[in-house]
Amino acid sequence: MGPPPPLKRVQHVGIRVHDLDAAVAFYTGVLGMTVSDRYDPGDNPHNPWGICFLRCGSGHHEISLIGFPKEANLQPSRVGLRGAAVGLHHVAFEAASREEFDRWAAHLRALGVEFVMGPVVHSPAHPEGDGTLGENRAVYFLDPSGNGIEIFCDLAEMDPGTNRVSEAWFRDRLRRDGHSPAAADPPPAWRPGVSSMAGARERSAAKKTAS
């Protein structure tokens, strides 16, 4: 038989929330998701928690919000995205294009959503890049329970032969972002055992000394 083929993708995420009503209001009102099913804590004889299943498209759910009884007296997490903790760091939603990403950023600003980081281009090579890895354009904020949320676009396509960001994808993205396709080269492939940030501290220190 051999090992099974690779799994298809990550499809949904279950998130613990401190207040199911507040969470549902945020995921529907701010993120525009649709409720597929919902029950409250105490409704299900098998579980103490309540769940709201929400969808972006036609599948039943991309997010399940897990809410606990009021007696549990849960409070929002104050860890934020930079704090040390175990557990889920953030959930990322994809915008279909750069144009839609920009519209989402404007929509969030208009609703008064506070950005924890971004909008930013995660790239060590892109002319607008922040010098980090990830090869996408992203903005980060928190849900009412303090869970990290990201909206992104333009996640790099990988070349399976070289395990490097696809050169064709990289140059096309430069062009779409208004840069010359020759403005930069895709970042080098990760080498097992070598940090993808190898030399970054030294380069950053040299930059600071020069400026």
Q: Which residues bind Fe ion (CB under 5 A)?
A: 92, 150
Residue nearest to Fe ion (CB): 92
Instruction: Tell the smallest beta-carbon distance from residue 182 to Fe ion (Å).
Output: 28
Identify which of 208, 185, 182 has the alpha carbon closest to the alpha carbon of residue 135: 185
Strand partners, 138: 120, 152
Between 38 and 90, CB nearer to Fe ion: 90
- What span, in angstroms and rounded, lies between the C-alpha atoms of 29 and 31? 6
Instruction: Tell the smallest beta-carbon distance from residue 47 to Fe ion (Å).
Output: 29
Instruction: Tell the smallest beta-carbon distance from residue 22 to Fe ion (Å).
Output: 23
Between 155 and 184, CB nearer to Fe ion: 155
Tokens standing for 83?
Answer: 């704090």
| Unique residue bearing structure tokens 């020759």 | 182
Instruction: Tell the smallest beta-carbon distance from residue 88 to Fe ion (Å).
Output: 11
Write the single-letter amino acid at 129.
Answer: G
Strand partners, 136: 122
